[in-house]
Every structure is written in structure tokens, then in C-alpha cells.
Structure 1
Amino acid sequence: MFLSSALITVHLENLRHNLKTLLARHPLLMPVIKADAYGHGIVAVARVLAEEGITHMAVGSVGEGALLRQDGHTAFLLALLGLARDEDTAIAANYDITPLVHNRESLQRILVQSHLTGRPTPLSIAVKFDTGMSRLGFRVEEAADLADYLRTLHEVHPVLVMSHLAASDTPALDAFTHEQAKRFLDAAASMKAVFPNIKTSLTNSPGLLCWPSYVGDLARPGVTLYGGNPLHGTDRAKLGMGLLPVMEMAAPVLSVHPVEQGATVSYGCLYKAPRDIRVAVVGAGYADGYPRALSMRGAVLVRGRRAPILGRVCMQMCIVDVTDIPGVEPGDTAYLLGGPGPLSIRPEELAEWWGTISYEVFCALGRNRRVSEKKFSEYSRRHES
């Protein structure tokens, strides 16, 4: 098995802080913990959420939901990917997971499976409408007919109506967001006319920050839970201030040595030393999710100071300039994300160097070894004693 020398630390105390910050914005949250909690570890994250009283969570696949049920979770679990395979319907029913239903085919899967098994109780479902994302969802125009049809089905019990905002993090597209909200209210009204107790959910992280009146019953924060600011780089960035990064990535310094003026560094000879310098080789590269796109861009944190990346990022190594950082030696820790002190590397900053968004940063780096479960156990023991 490939084990990286890079190590991910998930600061669950920061997760708790972010959750409480978001709860101050809206008291009813359904945190999104899909894709292994954005790379932070779904089991550890869900345990923290449960400790803090969260009763609704959104996973990606029904398999993720089953994993949490096996870990003892009793929360309402929404599977955002719905029923991708025939066997997903049985998993959802057996583990009391609420799948997202977004077309007639997914409804048909439930009906067929229900008839095959003779299941006596209806399966709770979340009905999704496409209000402008053009991804998953029924058309808003068919909401009334769909509600009437669902009323005739004994195999399903609609408990949630939802949609997804496409541009709530882009101020220039506010008019589009307002139109989406209007269309969602129309669809929700049609559903409520038939299912008066059905809950509603529209907003993601930026939607919760910018448009709290559009939330509905349940807000669905994702990246903000993990300390990312989805409004970074916009004139609304301050709405996402105060969130603490949950993920940190560190790797060991493998070597420290001089490079003479005129010598080149790493593959392709992209970097030629303009003077005598001192470099450190850090044990992390694109095999560890730290991409080649960061070649000649960005920096790592060593001994509390920034060390610029020189030349190309390699498969399991990158080379940084430590000329102006005294005392760096093999065995030191280099932080590729996070780190102590005021020069800590924030996820949005790393994402800018990378040419992507903090969501991808978390998911890519989170595939490395994590110590989140250890930290959870330590935290629990301290609070139990």
C-alpha cells in the first residue's frame, strides 16, 4: 500500500468553532459531509456534528450513509447523489437513508425494488427541482403534476423539497440567484399544497452567507464548515471571515543543501539560481495531491516563514528556497497547507496558486493519511474526564 510521507491533520476543534458560527446564522443546518467530508474524514466529522446536536446531515452516496449508520449514527441522512444503481434503493431502505429523487427513472427504481421486496413502509425521499443549475432535478413547470402523482404512490413519502444555487458566490450574478429563489418558491408551493409538512432547503455555503432569507427550513453549508471562504476575492469576502481552517498538510524536510549561482533546480531546468542559494527538499508532491501546477508558484511554511517553490513539483518531492530562513535542517516540518503563526497558508491562497478552488484543495489533499480520528479521541477523553 502506498503511504505518503505527507500527513493531514484535521483540527476538529476548528470544525466545532465553524459549526457554531454557522448556527448563529441559521439555527437549522444540514451540513454537507459528502466525498468523505470534503476529504476531512466523514466518520470523525459526523461524530463531532452529532456531539454538537446536529440531527440532519447530507452525504454523497447512499454508501456513505450506510457507513455512518454502521458507526451508530441516528441522524436524518440525505444522499445527494440519489439512487445511482439499482442496489442503492435497497441500501437506502435498509439503512433508513433518504435519497434525492430527481427524475422519473429514480422513482421507478424505488417502485420496482419495493414490489420485489414487499416492503410495507414507504421510503422517505427528497424531491429536487432544477431551478437553473441544469444538473439534477425535475423541471419547476411539472411541480404541480409531480406532487399529484407522488400523492398516488404508497411506496414513497416526500419529506424534503430542495434545489441548488448555481452562482450565489458571484455578486455579478445576483439577478440569476434571485430568479432561482423565485422558481424554487414556486416549486415548493406546489409541493406544500399536497404535502403541507414537507421541509424546504435551497442554500449552500455562499447562499447561507449572502442570502439567509432564501434558506428555507434547512441550510446546507459545505465548504464553510471546513473553514473555506466561498466569497474570497469578492466584495462580500467579509461575510465569510472568522471561519477557521480545519485541514492542515505537513511533510518532512528530507534534505537541505546549497545550490550555486547558475545551477538549475528540478525537472526541465525551469529555475536557474540567480545567486548562491540554499534549498530544502520537502517530501510531498503530486502523488500526494500537491499538484504539478504549483511548479514555480506558491510556497510552503518552514519555521514560521514562507519558502517559495523552485522548479517543478515532482511525484513525491518539491524543492523550496530557504536561503533567508535560518536553521532549516532535515527533519523539520514543512506546511503545505496551514501551519502555525501569522503566515499560515490559507486554503483560498493555496487554491489561487493552484488555479482552482478550496473545495478541490480539500478533496485532493484529504486523500493522504489523516490524524483526525486520533484528535477526536483525545478531544473526547478530555471532555469526558
Structure 2
Amino acid sequence: MTTWIEISATNLKHNIQTFKKIIGEKTILAPAVKGNAYGHGLEICAKIMIKAGTDFLSVFSVEDLERVRKINTKIPILILGYVKLNELKKAITLNPNFVVWNTETLENLGQIAKEQKKEIFIHLKLETGNHRYGIDPENIDKYLKLFRKYPNLKLAGLASHFANVEDTTDHSYAEQQLQKFTNFCDLIEQKGFKVKLKHLSNSAAATLWKKAHFNLVRTGILNYGLWPSQEVFKTINLKPVMTWKTIISQIREIPENEYIGYGCTYKTTRKTKMAVLPIGYYDGYDRKLSNKGCVLIKGKRAKILGRICMNVTMVDITDIKNVKLEDEAVLLGKQGTDEIPAEEMASWANTINYEITTRINERIRRIVV
């Protein structure tokens, strides 16, 4: 094993319990473990979250649902993504709460509920301004008609999603969405449906906007101690959960005026001591970090030299003392007194921290520490 990810159970538990305190006892916490728990490892993180006292989990796909059910058969699970019509029966055996935004899915679920004499719990996804998945107010009667047609379909929740809470300090659009959601929920209840759960808040809204919590909050990237934007950065005390490590697989002396790596994009300006790391873009280490990023070795920053390869990265250790073969290098996380957070790595690659962690290859072993 030449690269691995360490997951801090202590930090993840701290983050979950911090959110539970923020939202209060009467509000359900439904942390998202989609995207392989934002790259942290679905099964590992789900287990820790459940032990930390989470009330619900949120997943995206039937595959995610199956993975959670293998480790816990009882915790309520919200499936946020689309389920193919021919996979609905399979999904039902795993007892999720379905998020639904089209009548075809709802009709099929109704027929299955009738055939199996089984209650199926539905959360309708309401359009409030994000314009991805969603039901427009003028179409809601089509859905409510199906709940009346199939009594075993239970309208358990109403959901929507903010378009822009985290990337701005101007929350006027989010205020409009909040009002639309409130009005939409009122409309549905006026039509005779008493709905238990209402949820709109993502990570940023959970942190910044108590008035948007309703009675269920779907936290995402903040569960893992990562920040959705600079505007939300360190507004509460969270701790990063992931440290990504590799080892040094070769140490070399490169003369001045020599090229390093594919494309000859880096030329040494001095006699350079170089460490070769067995990590590359196949592993999810972004190629855009070439000639920009750093790793930590002996607690000091070692600059990436040349292009990141499929399985190999070269770094400058000229100014770092006592480096030897198989010493650890930290790609993401803390070593000594220095730290490379996902947010900084994302800035080097001109992307977002979500992409940095979720693109890490699932084959890389995640280890609880």
C-alpha cells in the first residue's frame, strides 16, 4: 500500500455532534454520504455518523442505499437521486424514503405499494428557484391526486434546495426561495395533506440560517470539516476528517538546467534534490496541480516539479533535511505544524474542494484513525 487515506473518527463525530447542537433536539439531522461520503468512504463514515447519534442519512443512488443497508438495517435513509422505474421494487426492499419529482415514479411506487400492501414514504421535491429536479406549484395537484389514489403512499416530507446561500453575502435570492418553499408547503397543507417533515437547508443554510432549518437539515460537505465557500469559512468550529498520504519511492539528485517530467514543463534552476511519489491522476490527484501544488514532507512544503503523471508525481526536497526512502508525504491534511487543506488545493487546481475529495479513487484504502 503506497497511498492511503486516514479518516479521523474523533473529528467526524465532533462535526456531527456540533451540528446536532446547532439545529437542536427537535430538528432531524440527515447528513449526506453521497459521492462516497464526499470521497471519505461511505461505509466508514456512515458507521461513525450513526454512532455519533445522527437521526437519518441521505444518499444519492440505489447503490449508495445498498451499501448503507449492509452496515445498518434500521436507520431511516433519504434517497435524493433518481431511481430507474425498473429498480423501484429493489429499492423498496431496502426501506428508503424516496425523494420524488415526477408522476411516473410516483405512479409506479403507488402500484407497488398497492400490490405489496406496503407503506412507502415519499418526499416531494418542490421547485423554488434552483431549477434542477423539482415540481412546479401549478402541477402539484397531479401528485396529490396519486396520494389519494394510492393510500399506501405516505407523503412524509416536502423538500427543496437552495441555489445560492454559500457563495454570497447577499441572501435576497435565498430569501425568495425560503418564502416560495413556505408558501408551497402551506398550499399543500391547505389541500388536506398534513406533512411531517420539511427540509430546505444544506450545509451553508444549516450554519447561517436557523429560520431555514424547518424540522430536517441535510448537511453535506461541512460534515467532513470542509467549507462550502469562503463566505461560510470557519463560521463554526469544525475539524477536517481526511488526511491523504503516500510515501517516497525514490530520491534523486538532478543537475541544474535539466527538465523534469512529460512535456519538459519544468527546468531546474539549481542542483535539485527530488523525491518521486507513487501517486498520480489515476488516483484522483488532480493534474492541474502540476508545477503549482505542494505536498508536506517532514512538516515542510515540497513543490511539485513538472507534470503530474498517471501514477507518479515529482517534488522538490532540496531544502528539506534528513529525507529518506519510504518517508511519508501528506498530499492533503496536516503534518507537523503545517497543513494543506482541500480549499487550498482546490485554489491551485482552479476548482472547488468538493471536486478535490470526491474524485479521489475509491480503490484507495480508507483507514479509521
Q: How many residues are matched?
A: 365
Q: Percent same amino acid among aligned pairs?
A: 29
- Is 1:332 the counterpart of 2:331? The answer is no
Give the structure 2 partner of residue 213 of structure 1. Answer: 211
Q: What is residue 246 of structure 2 aligned with on the other side?
A: 251
Query: Which amino acid counterpart does residue 259 of structure 1 have in structure 2?
Result: I
Q: Quote the Cα distance in structure 1 between the aligned partners of 2:337 and 2:104.
A: 52
> Which residue is equivalent to 1:383?
none
TM-score normalised over the length of structure 1: 0.90
**Conserved 8 A contact 1:167-1:173:** no
Q: 1:1-385, aligned counterparts within 5 Å?
A: 5-27=2-24, 28-83=28-83, 85-114=84-113, 118-143=115-140, 146-147=143-144, 149-193=146-190, 194-232=192-230, 234=231, 236-239=232-235, 241-365=236-360, 367-372=362-367, 375=369
Which structure shows the higher helix fraction? 1
Determine the C-alpha separation between the residues in 1 that align with 2:119 and 2:105.
15
**CA RMSD between the two structures:** 1.8
Question: Equivalents in 2 of 1:246, 1:329: separation in Å?
Answer: 28
Q: Distance in 1 between matches of 2:256 and 2:138?
A: 68
- In the alignment, structure 2 segments of 5+ residues that lack a partner are none
Does the Cα contact within 8 Å between 1:143 and 1:187 map onto a contact in 2? no
Whole-angstrom CA distance in 2 between matches of 1:53 and 1:151: 35
Q: 1:382 aligns to what?
A: none
Deviation at 1:148, TM superposition (A): 5.1
Which amino acid in structure 1 is aligned with residue 43 of structure 2?
V
Match of 1:380 in 2: none
Q: Please give the alpha-carbon distance, in whole angstroms, between the structure 2 residues aligned to 1:254 and 1:139.
A: 57
Q: 1:192 to 1:56 in 2, by over 3 A?
A: farther
| Contact 2:298–2:336 (8 Å) recurs in 1 | no
**Change in CA separation of 1:353 and 1:249 when aligned onto 2, cut-off 3 Å:** same
For 2:215, give the aligned amino acid: D
Q: Indicate conservation of the 8 Å contact 1:255/1:330, yes or no.
A: yes
**AA aligned opposite 1:274:** T
SS in structure 2 of the partner of residue 297 of structure 1: coil
Q: Which amino acid aligns with 2:202?
A: N
1:360 shift after superposition: 1.2
Cα distance between partner residues in 1 of 2:98 and 2:143: 17
State the secondary structure of the residue aligned to 1:165: coil
Secondary structure of 1:171's match?
A: coil
Query: Deviation per CA, 1:342-365, whole angstroms, max 9, x where unpaired?
Result: 311111111111221111111112
1:255 and 1:39, CA in 2 relative to 1: closer, same or farther beyond 3 A? same
Could you tell me whether the CA contact under 8 Å between 1:92 and 1:98 is conserved in 2? no
The superposition leaves residues 194-228 of structure 1 with CA deviations (integer Å, 9 ceiling, x where unpaired) of: 23242100010011112121111111111000110
Q: 1:92 to 1:190 in 2, by over 3 A?
A: farther
- TM-superposed deviation, 1:337: 0.5
Give the aligned residue type for 1:22. Answer: F
User: CA–CA distance in 1 between the matches of 2:55 and 2:234?
Assistant: 29
Report the residue type matching 2:223 in the other structure.
L
Letter in 2 for 1:89: L
CA distance in 1, matches of 2:149, 2:321: 74
Give the TM-score of the pair, scaled to structure 2: 0.93
Partner Cα separation in structure 2 for residue 141 and residue 157 of structure 1 = 21
